[in-house]
C-alpha cells in the first residue's frame, strides 16, 4: 500500500494553494466543500477564483510564493505549469513536515486526492495511488450509479441513534446485528422512498421493542426485455430482495440480476394464459410479506400500465403491508424506440393511445370511432390474438385499410423482430411475430425504415450490457 487512506477534517483549517488557474479552481472547489480556509498564491486569478475572492470565499494571500507562507497552514497544493515552482513548493513543504500535493505529478505528492463518491456524511474514496486516475474515476462513476442518493440522509438519521443503540445493547455483536437489520430492512426502504419521519419511527420502534418481523412489498417494473433499460432503483431493490415473484414477460437477462440467494417464484402471465390466478398472486404476496420477507414483485414493462399492479397494491394496503413502486420502461416506449418508430411526430401523429387487446368478444366496450381517428398512434398491448377483430373494427369505423402498421415481437431483446405492413394485413403480421408482441398502428410506422437502429446492433454475436457491473 503506497498511501494510507485518511479522511482529514479541514473545517476552518488554513490550506495553501499555489496557482490560480482552472486546475487550482478544481482543487479549491473540493477544499471549500470540506469547509477549509483557502489561501491562494498566484500572479493572477481565473474568473472563477476572482469571483470567489470578491465574495470573500477565499483569501488571495500573495502574487508570489514565499516559503514562510507554509508555516501556518495544514497542507499545501501546487497547481501551476511551472515545474521549478512546483518543485520548490514540494521541497519547502516537506522540510516543514506539511502535507503537499503537486497536481498531476505523483512522485511529488505526500498526499493525493482520491475519486470521491459523496453521500455526506457517508463518503467513499477510490484511489489508484496516482498510477491510473482515469481507472479510479471510472470505478467512481459505477459506484455513483449503484449507491442511492438517500444513503447520506440515512447515515445522518442512524447517527442520531448511535448513543441510544449503545445503551440498549451492551455487546458489540448485538449492536452490529441491530444495524444490519436496520440497513437491510424497512427502515432502509422508507429512507429510500423519502419517508424520513416514518423511517425514524420505525427505527425507534425496533430499538424499543422486539424486532418487527413484518416485511414489505415492492413492485418493480422490469422494462420490456433489455436489462440495460432496468432502472438503477429497480436494480438496487432486486439486489436486496428475499423473494421475487416474476412474470413470463420478464426476460432471462433481467432475472439474472436478482440477488442470487433470493427465492424466485414464477407466477406466469402471458396473453390469454395465466399459470397463477391473480387472486393467488395477491394472496402469495401478502403471505410472504407477513413472514417478514422483502418481496419484490417483478413485472414486465411498467407495473401500472396494463400490469395489474394497482390490484396487487390494493391487496397489500388492505392487509396493512408497507409497499413501494419502482416504475419501469413500458413496452410501448421501449419497443418502439428500439424499432425506430417515434410514437408521436409533428408530421404524422399528435397523440398516442396505449390500449390493451384484452377486450370483450362483442367489442361493445370499445370506443371504435375515437380509436379510428387519423393522425394518432395506437400502441396495443396483448393484441395478437385479437388482431383480426382490431383490424376489422378500425376499418369499419373509418381508418384507412392502407394505414401503416408494425408488429414488434420480443421488443428490445436480441431476437427482436419488426414486421411491417398495412392495417388490412394486421392479422397475418401478428400471427407471424414472436411473442410477446406489441401492435403499432399509425403513420409513424413509415419512419421505421429510416430510423431503425437496433436491428443492426442485434446482429452482433455479443452485445455489452448497459447494466453497471463491478466484476
Q: How is the chain split into domains, by residue range?
A: 14-113, 148-212, 213-329, 333-456
Mean pLDDT (the chain) is: 89
The whole-number average pLDDT for the span 370-391 is: 94
237 is written with which cell numbers?
431493490
Same CATH fold assignment for domains 213-329 and 333-456: no
79 is written with which cell numbers?
497547481
CB of 78 closer than 8 Å to CB of 27: no
Pairing of the two strands 14-18 and 122-126: unpaired
Note the pLDDT of residue 463. 41
Q: pLDDT at residue 37 above 90?
A: yes
The whole-number average pLDDT for the span 358-366 is: 60
Q: DSSP for 439-459?
A: EEESGGGGGHHHH--HHHHTT
Phi, psi angles (nearest 5°) of residue 296: -100, 120
Determine the Cα–Cα distance for residues 336 and 447; give it in Å rounded to an integer: 11
Please tell me which residue, 457 or 37, carries the higher pLDDT value.
37
How remote is the C-alpha of 245 from its chain's centroid? 21
Q: What is the pLDDT of residues 241-252, one digit of tens each?
A: 889 999 988 999
Please tell me which residue, 180 or 369, carries the higher pLDDT value.
369
How many C-beta atoms surround the C-beta of residue 130 within 10 A? 18
Query: Could you give the residue numbers annotated as active site?
Result: 247, 269
The whole-number average pLDDT for the span 346-351 is: 93
Please tell me which residue, 195 or 210, carries the higher pLDDT value.
195
Q: What is the pLDDT of residues 401-437, one digit of tens each?
A: 999 999 999 999 999 999 999 999 999 999 999 999 9
Decide yes or no: CATH 3.30.950.10 for domain 333-456: yes
The whole-number average pLDDT for the span 305-314 is: 93
CB of 77 closer than 8 Å to CB of 18: yes
Pairing of the two strands 294-299 and 216-221: parallel
Q: What is the pLDDT of residues 55-71, one digit of tens each?
A: 999 999 999 999 999 99
Q: What is the pLDDT of residues 133-177, one digit of tens each?
A: 888 888 888 888 778 888 899 999 999 999 999 998 888 877 877
Q: pLDDT at residue 361 above 50?
A: no
Q: Class assignment of domain 148-212?
A: mainly alpha
What pTM value is reported for the model?
0.64
**Fold (CATH) for 213-329:** Cobalt-precorrin-4 Transmethylase; domain 1 (3.40.1010)
How remote is the C-alpha of 246 from its chain's centroid? 20
Alpha-carbon distances of 9 from 35, 52, 100, rounded to whole Å: 9, 22, 16
Task: List alpha helices for 228-277, DSSP H.
Answer: 232-238, 252-255
Determine the Cα–Cα distance for residues 249 and 245; give it in Å rounded to an integer: 12
Q: Which of 153-157, 164-168, 211-215, 442-446 has the weakest average pLDDT? A: 211-215
How many C-beta atoms surround the C-beta of residue 19 within 10 A? 28
Note the pLDDT of residue 76. 97
14-113: CATH number: 3.40.50.720
Q: pLDDT at residue 365 above 90?
A: no
Amino acid at each position: 500500500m503506497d498511501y494510507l487512506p485518511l479522511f482529514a477534517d479541514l473545517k476552518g483549517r488554513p490550506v495553501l494553494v499555489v496557482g490560480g488557474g482552472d486546475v487550482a479552481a478544481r482543487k479549491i472547489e473540493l477544499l471549500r466543500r470540506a469547509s477549509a480556509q483557502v489561501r491562494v498564491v498566484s500572479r493572477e486569478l481565473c474568473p472563477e477564483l476572482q469571483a470567489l475572492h470578491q465574495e470573500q470565499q477565499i483569501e488571495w494571500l500573495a502574487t508570489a510564493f514565499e516559503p514562510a507562507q507554509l508555516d501556518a497552514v495544514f497542507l499545501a497544493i501546487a497547481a501551476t505549469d511551472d515545474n521549478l515552482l512546483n518543485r520548490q513548493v514540494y521541497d519547502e513543504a516537506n522540510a516543514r513536515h506539511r502535507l503537499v500535493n503537486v497536481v498531476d505529478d505523483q512522485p511529488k505528492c505526500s498526499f493525493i486526492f482520491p475519486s470521491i463518491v459523496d453521500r455526506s456524511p457517508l463518503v467513499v474514496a477510490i484511489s489508484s495511488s496516482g498510477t491510473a486516475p482515469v481507472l479510479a474515476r471510472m470505478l467512481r462513476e459505477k459506484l455513483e450509479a449503484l449507491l442511492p442518493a438517500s444513503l447520506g440522509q440515512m447515515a445522518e438519521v442512524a447517527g442520531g441513534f448511535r448513543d441510544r443503540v449503545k445503551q440498549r445493547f451492551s455487546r458489540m455483536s448485538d449492536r452490529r446485528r441491530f444495524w444490519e437489520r436496520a440497513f437491510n430492512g424497512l427502515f432502509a426502504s422508507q429512507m429510500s422512498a423519502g419517508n424520513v419521519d416514518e423511517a425514524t419511527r420505525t427505527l425507534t420502534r425496533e430499538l424499543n421493542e422486539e424486532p418487527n418481523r413484518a416485511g414489505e412489498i415492492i413492485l418493480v417494473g422490469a422494462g420490456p426485455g433489455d436489462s440495460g433499460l432496468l432502472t438503477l432503483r429497480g436494480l438496487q431493490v432486486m439486489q436486496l430482495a428475499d423473494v421475487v415473484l416474476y412474470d413470463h414477460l420478464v426476460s432471462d437477462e433481467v432475472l439474472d440480476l436478482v440477488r442470487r440467494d433470493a427465492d424466485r417464484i414464477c407466477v406466469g402471465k402471458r396473453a390469454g394464459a395465466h399459470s397463477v390466478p391473480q387472486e393467488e398472486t395477491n394472496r402469495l404476496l401478502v403471505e410472504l410479506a407477513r413472514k417478514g420477507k422483502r418481496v419484490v414483485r417483478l413485472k414486465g414493462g411498467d407495473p401500472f400500465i396494463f400490469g395489474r399492479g394497482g390490484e396487487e397494491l390494493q391487496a397489500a394496503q388492505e392487509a396493512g403491508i408497507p409497499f413501494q413502486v419502482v416504475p419501469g420502461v413500458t413496452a410501448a416506449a421501449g419497443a418502439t424506440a428500439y424499432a425506430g418508430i417515434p410514437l408521436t411526430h409533428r408530421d404524422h401523429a399528435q397523440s398516442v393511445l396505449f390500449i390493451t387487446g384484452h377486450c370483450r368478444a362483442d367489442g361493445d366496450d370499445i370506443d371504435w370511432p375515437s380509436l379510428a381517428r387519423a393522425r394518432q398512434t395506437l400502441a396495443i398491448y396483448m393484441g395478437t390474438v385479437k388482431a383480426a377483430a382490431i383490424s376489422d373494427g378500425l376499418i369499419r369505423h373509418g381508418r384507412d385499410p392502407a394505414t401503416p402498421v408494425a408488429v414488434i415481437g420480443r421488443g428490445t431483446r436480441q431476437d427482436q423482430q419488426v414486421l411491417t405492413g398495412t392495417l388490412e394485413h394486421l392479422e397475418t403480421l401478428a400471427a407471424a411475430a414472436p411473442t410477446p408482441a406489441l401492435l403499432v398502428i399509425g403513420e409513424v410506422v413509415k419512419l421505421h425504415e429510416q430510423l431503425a437502429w437496433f436491428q443492426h446492433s442485434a446482429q452482433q454475436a455479443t452485445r455489452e450490457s448497459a447494466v453497471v457491473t463491478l466484476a
